[in-house]
A and B are shown apart, each in its own frame.
Chain A
Amino acid sequence: MERLLELLRGNARLSVEEIAVSLGLTALEVAKRMTELEAAGVILGYQAVVDGEKLGPRGVTALIEVRITPEAGGGFDRIAKRIAQYDQVRSCYLMSGGYDLALMVEGTDLYDVARFVAEKLSTLDVVLSTATLFQLRVYKHDGFVLNTDLREDRLPVSP
């Protein structure tokens, strides 16, 4: 992947100037490239990476495996795009293997997710079955390993 994107994926709050210094480019070049990537839809947005556990007990996340009947002509696209419209669905992927769509769903509690599955998802004609797997703990999220700060173990001064 382009280094500019790697840097932004690590820290989206880097300023154009900071990135330019790091990469040995001018701020203008970096700004231009970022605009290009945004316009091309490569960069979709800039968001904070949040450790939800630190916020205390609020909300649940579930992985829902969905089997669906593909449509003649459209395949999985139309139905996948339709399911992705729900606010509860944070991510929606077409998968190989034993099921078709993987959804990451967020709800206020267990029942909230259950309601979404029972009332919205399962009622769609093309949905054959669902399996709901609740997330218990997060150890690594989007490349960030949680709760492993080794800094304290290092000597402050060494040869």
Chain B
Amino acid sequence: MDRDKLLGLYRQMLVLRHFDEMCLDLKMKDLIMDGFHPYSGEEAVAVGVCTNLRPDDAVISTHRPQGHSIAKGSTPRQIFCEMLGRRGGVSQGIGGPMQWIDTPNNFFCGSIVGSGITIATGIAMAMKREGKGRICVCFFGDGASNTGSFHEGLNLAAIWKLPVIYICENNQYGEAMPVREFVSVYPISKRAASYGLEGVMVDGNDVEEVLAAVEKGVTAARSGDGPVFIEAITYRTRGHYGGDPEYTYRTRDEVEWWRKKCPIARCKARLLEEGVEESVLIALEQEVVRELESDLAWALEQPFPTVEQATDHVMIPLAEGGRLK
């Protein structure tokens, strides 16, 4: 891969990692008021996938949306605000850490496990009808593969040959339950065959591998070949939510083993191999942290929504007397 391109991916992954780690800190300080679901360790998936997308492509995400959203184009400022429940967030702080919609960025939430898989079919159906070659990427976790929505949504997209890219982020756990205990077949990509799709499995901690697989899938989906199923094997190195009792369901050794496979460290090693100076990479990381700190400082200055704003946009008002225009 081109060195500058790899450097760009590295930078984006650093943004996601530091954003996440800063959010964990905000969670510990109770400034994030809801559960915060860390994305640390899975950055290569969001970045590898979203780098292949056009701004007018859509993404539907999960209850762990921050990595996907920022990789798709939401600004860290907006997402910090959403985490903190402040205006300035893409959902004006009403959505919170699990559910937001970034309309200009074509980014949608699907915080109920599995639900996005059915919504993606409709987005893709409209895109197919429109005929502009747009596609919808649907992220979901290993746990979602057991929901009814998974089976219903995949079947519909397959029979109607819709331009959807399914990205199953297999991070090894559905909350506290290990994936091998809750799926009847493993890997999950085997299930794609049940719907006539090829299930592609990639090392989700290798950004170059993710990027290449998705690039191929995007070409196929854009050209009308129907849905594509990619399972990215990865690991969340933090708990299900910030501060969960993670060592009740997994061992420290296991977490350590996966930390050694850190996608960012691996990308860094590749860049060093390519002859990039370590000092350049350190400077880059410092710059990312500085920018994020400034974004967070800005977000912390933003006002909270008022109670009156809590009822904004619940419904589009009917004209007077209930009569339509």
Do A and B bind? no
